[in-house]
Amino acid sequence: MESAVLPTYARAPLSFERGEGAYLFDEDGRRYLDFGAGIAVCALGHAHPHLVAALTEQGSKLWHNSNVFQIPGQEKLARRLTERCALDAAFFTNSGVEALECAFKIARRYQYEQGRPERYRILTFDGAFHGRTLAGIAAGGQDKLLKGFGPKVDGFDQSPFGDLAAAKAAIGPETAAILVEPIQGEGGIRVADPAFLKGLRALCDEHDLLLMYDEVQCGMGRTGKLFAHEWSGAAPDVMALAKGIGGGFPLGACLAVEKAAKVMTPGTHGTTYGGNPLAMAVGNAVLDVMLADGFLETVERRANHLRQQLSGLVDRHPTILEELRGQGLMLGLKCRVPNGDLVTALREHGMLAIPGGDNVVRLIPPLIINESHIAEALETLDEACRELEG
Ligand SMILES: *Cc1c(COP(=O)(O)O)cnc(C)c1O
């Protein structure tokens, strides 16, 4: 084979040697403004000194230990996360899809423990993305991800995103839980209306279903609040986190409210690596920065400024851009040209962005961007759009 790596990605012809804050440097030393952040993962930018210090300090003490022992870093990180939301306990994983797998198992086991084992189905929404395992692609329900990987894992139903009446109608005697992204990422930066989330909360209360949020992409400060659902006032029973939570170290978490957490008794679930001391040192260091005074407020302020600038951009280039979407630093430019063309043009001008569903270009920069990064991004976006107007 041409490459010894499985050909699952259409990769851009570019590789990076190092990163610093909001910038990446390729092997020729060329600098790129990184508005992709490894798909919303490098929330504190590259080589953040506090994270580097935490990683190297823990790296010289203890990397890994089994979950058959106490891991104090887990207690600390779980306490700090659950204190910031209405949830009570956390299970740590290495990825987003594993956090979701834990959520799926909690949903089934919760209903089982209530004496309703027939309730095992999870309602999800059009345009959703819940990872790439067999259950993850069944939950996401997208044909292009499921094709050729049948039979589809049983137990997932889908309903239109944002349509409360349809969700209500889709709940049946076998429904165990509802799973939703407060802001769809891969689906094209689609923000759920707060009234939709509140409505789902009420439906779950009415039928004793678990309301589960996938905040793998939209959580961890990305919207200017630690969790995206805080904007809606509708609290979940279960929440999956990953991406930004480790700032680039592979880490995820599934948080649950006490009544759901307590069904996961010894032996019901496990992981070898999840929550190991190295991951916990980095996760706690990420939170040190995110929870420091003023950090999230600054994210919100920068995001408002960026949004304002981007709506001007959309007005200036009506044949290239259709609309601006999103919240906080999770923004999308819906394009009138193929989104890949804009991503490529940006890259050629030294800026990285990520394509998304619905012909959207995602702008998901590190949360540490400042006004000069925003000005540089706008200049580059203007240049790229002008070029495409050609
Ligand atoms: C990235 C993502 C996932 C999958 O996370 P992995 O770490 O790739 O398994 C799941 N849900 C959402 C919303 C995501 O953005």
Asked if residue 13 belongs to a domain, the reply is: no
User: Do residue 278 and residue 375 come from a single domain?
Assistant: no
Asked if residue 1 belongs to a domain, the reply is: no
How much of the chain is in helix, strand and coil states, percent to nearest 5? 40, 20, 40
pLDDT given for residue 375 in this prediction:
98
Beta strands 210-214 and 175-180: pairing type?
parallel
pLDDT given for residue 170 in this prediction:
98
Asked if residue 6 belongs to a domain, the reply is: no
pLDDT given for residue 80 in this prediction:
98
Asked if residue 14 belongs to a domain, the reply is: no
User: Do residue 254 and residue 210 come from a single domain?
Assistant: yes
Cα distance between residue 113 and residue 121, in whole Å = 15
pLDDT given for residue 235 in this prediction:
98
User: Do residue 31 and residue 109 come from a single domain?
Assistant: no
Of 290, 316, 333, the one marking the end of a domain is: 290
- CA 260 → CA 1, 174, 212, 365, distances in Å? 48, 18, 11, 34
Q: Is the distance from CB of 354 to CB of 362 less than 8 angstroms?
A: yes
Ligand 1 close to Cβ of residue 96 (< 6 A): yes
Q: Cβ of 131: how many Cβ atoms within 10 Å?
A: 23
- Between the CA of 98 and the centroid of ligand 1 the distance, in Å, is 9
DSSP, residue by residue, 311-373: HHHHHH-TTTEEEEEEETTEEEEEESS-HHHHHHHHHHTTEE-EEETTTEEEE---TT--HHH
Ligand 1 close to Cβ of residue 362 (< 6 A): no
User: Do residue 228 and residue 366 come from a single domain?
Assistant: no
- Between the CA of 39 and the centroid of ligand 1 the distance, in Å, is 9
Ligand 1 close to Cβ of residue 97 (< 6 A): yes
Average pLDDT, whole number, for the chain? 98
Q: Cβ of 148: how many Cβ atoms within 10 Å?
A: 5
Of 232, 267, 290, the one marking the end of a domain is: 290
**Structural domain boundaries enclosing 333:** 26-40+294-389
- Between the CA of 79 and the centroid of ligand 1 the distance, in Å, is 23
Q: Which residues are CB-contacts of 232 (< 8 A; sequence separation ≥ 6)?
A: 182, 192, 194, 197, 198
User: Do residue 253 and residue 326 come from a single domain?
Assistant: no
Annotation marks residue 144 as catalytic: no
Q: What are phi and psi of 93, to 5 degrees?
A: -130, -175
User: Do residue 316 and residue 174 come from a single domain?
Assistant: no
User: Do residue 312 and residue 165 come from a single domain?
Assistant: no
User: Do residue 234 and residue 301 come from a single domain?
Assistant: no
Annotation marks residue 129 as catalytic: yes
pLDDT given for residue 31 in this prediction:
98
pLDDT given for residue 181 in this prediction:
98
Cα distance between residue 232 and residue 210, in whole Å = 17
What total number of domains does the chain contain?
2
CATH number at residue 376: 3.90.1150.10
Annotation marks residue 295 as catalytic: no
Among 101, 156, 216, name the best residue to mutate to test ligand 1's pocket (greatest count of ligand atoms within 8 A of Cβ).
216
CATH number at residue 58: 3.40.640.10
Ranges under pLDDT 70 in the chain: none
User: Do residue 32 and residue 120 come from a single domain?
Assistant: no
Residue 163 has which token pair? 């349509």
User: Do residue 90 and residue 194 come from a single domain?
Assistant: yes
Question: What does the pLDDT look like over 27-47, one tens digit per residue?
Answer: 999 999 999 999 999 999 999
User: Do residue 349 and residue 378 come from a single domain?
Assistant: yes
Among 97, 125, 179, name the best residue to mutate to test ligand 1's pocket (greatest count of ligand atoms within 8 A of Cβ).
97
Strands in 360-363's sheet, in edge-to-edge order, are 321-327, 330-335, 360-363, 354-356
pLDDT given for residue 277 in this prediction:
98
Asked if residue 244 belongs to a domain, the reply is: yes
Cα distance between residue 272 and residue 335, in whole Å = 43
pLDDT given for residue 192 in this prediction:
98
Residue 147 has which token pair? 């094709």
User: Do residue 130 and residue 105 come from a single domain?
Assistant: yes
Predicted TM-score (pTM) of the model is 0.98
